[in-house]
Amino acid sequence: MKEFNVIEDFFKAKSIQRKDVIIGIGDDGAVTHIPQGQALVTTTDTLISGVHFLPDTPAHAIAQKAMAVNLSDLAAMGAEPAWISLSLSMPEVDETWLEAFSNGLQQHSKYYSVQLIGGDTVKGPLAITITAQGFVPFDQALTRSKAKPGDSLYVTGTLGDAGLGLHIAQKKCVVSNPLNQAFLLNRLNYPTPRLLVGNSLRRIASACIDISDGLIADIKHILNASQCGATIHVDKLPLSPALKESVTYSQAISYALSAGDDYELLFTVSEEQKGHLETTLANANVHATYIGQLNGSAGKLQLRQADKPYEYSAKGYEHF
């Protein structure tokens, strides 16, 4: 099968059609329409076999994760996704793998109304780069840099699940309850981009980031960009029943603080916006947990448990 047929059969044939795409897959470039009053948000993430996913990860999960991590970045910006491009490097044309991969991509495309508008297909080690684009009303993009001392800190969902999921997948630990094991592996392989929350936070959050490298690593980006410090109360960290039942409490806290891959949103809200936050979250039927408070000691992060400092040294995932 030639490059052309791969693109035609697996990607063009399965792509959904949005009204704002004037020219999609098949020409030298895609041509799209940006609605009036909206700004374009663009983000890229690469997943490399052996680095970002285990080589035996099902192709369907690889596709959905590659898309989800990009949509998660759009969510963190408060943007609504519209289009993706896919750059696919693979060692050979494996039709079974491509079938599963393109089905995974197609399912997410339909679910999130995101059209695949182009890409590149090359021979090489297995690596998937997706560029996602979306819209945010002009001037309403959420950023890392506008948090203020006194703002409250929140996180969506639960933390640490994907971290334990990775250790299960790597056979570094065993979880006896099969339902918990399935839940944790699912959190690793099929992260959920928090688009609804991200969109609802537009006029409410002062800063927002998605947690890809672990809470401690990612909060530092907000603290540095906003010139703030923070206190996190470790007993408030949202932990799933599966995580709590599978490891000790202090291990669960460690996963929640420094394991990556959860793709939850971490955001800050000023005192004045707190009322808004509660109604917005209730209307969107989503849950976020208060975990701490910002202060003026720029760049400093304090962890506390009850009224004592919580001693902790591990960092989040760093590539270099």
**Would you tell me which residues interact with Mg ion (CB under 5 A)?**
120
Question: Which residue lies nearest Mg ion, judged by its C-beta?
Answer: 120
What, of ligand ADP, Mg ion, none, does residue 118 touch, CB below 5 to 8 Å by kind?
A: ligand ADP
What, of ligand ADP, Mg ion, none, does residue 27 touch, CB below 5 to 8 Å by kind?
A: ligand ADP
* Residue number, 25 or 247, with CB nearest to ligand ADP: 25
Task: Provide the phi-psi class of 70: left if phi over 0, else alpha when psi is between -120 and 50, else beta.
Answer: alpha
* Residue number, 118 or 157, with CB nearest to ligand ADP: 118
The residues that touch ligand ADP, with contacts defined as CB under 6 A, are 7, 11, 25-28, 86, 88, 116, 118-121
What, of Mg ion, ligand ADP, none, does residue 92 touch, CB below 5 to 8 Å by kind?
A: none
Consult the annotation and say whether 33 binds a ligand. Answer: no
Consult the annotation and say whether 261 binds a ligand. Answer: yes
* Residue number, 23 or 282, with CB nearest to ligand ADP: 23
Consult the annotation and say whether 45 binds a ligand. Answer: yes
* Residue number, 28 or 56, with CB nearest to Mg ion: 28
What, of Mg ion, ligand ADP, none, does residue 119 touch, CB below 5 to 8 Å by kind?
A: ligand ADP
Consult the annotation and say whether 213 binds a ligand. Answer: yes
* Residue number, 129 or 268, with CB nearest to ligand ADP: 129
DSSP string, the chain: --HHHHIIIIIITT----TTEEE-BTBSS-EE-PPTTEEEEEEEEEEEBTTTB-TTS-HHHHHHHHHHHHHHHHHHTTPEEEEEEEEEEESS--HHHHHHHHHHHHHHHHHHT-EEEEEEEEESSSEEEEEEEEEEETT----SS---TT-EEEEES-SSHHHHHHHHHTTSS--S-HHHHHHHHHHHHS----HHHHHHTTTTEEEEEE-SS-HHHHHHHHHHHHT-EEEEEGGGS---HHHHHHS-HHHHHHHHHH------EEEEE-GGGHHHHHHHHHHHT--EEEEEEEESSTT-EEEEETTEEPP---------
Consult the annotation and say whether 124 binds a ligand. Answer: no
What, of ligand ADP, Mg ion, none, does residue 152 touch, CB below 5 to 8 Å by kind?
A: none
Minimum distance from residue 13 beta carbon to Mg ion (Å): 18
CA dist 96 to 42, 43, 92, 103, Å? Answer: 31, 29, 11, 11
What, of ligand ADP, Mg ion, none, does residue 299 touch, CB below 5 to 8 Å by kind?
A: none
* Residue number, 15 or 158, with CB nearest to Mg ion: 15
> Residue positions in the annotated binding site for substrate?
52, 261, 317
> Residue positions in the annotated binding site?
28, 43-45, 52, 73, 119-120, 144, 210, 212-213, 261, 317
> Residue positions in the annotated binding site for ATP?
119-120, 144, 212
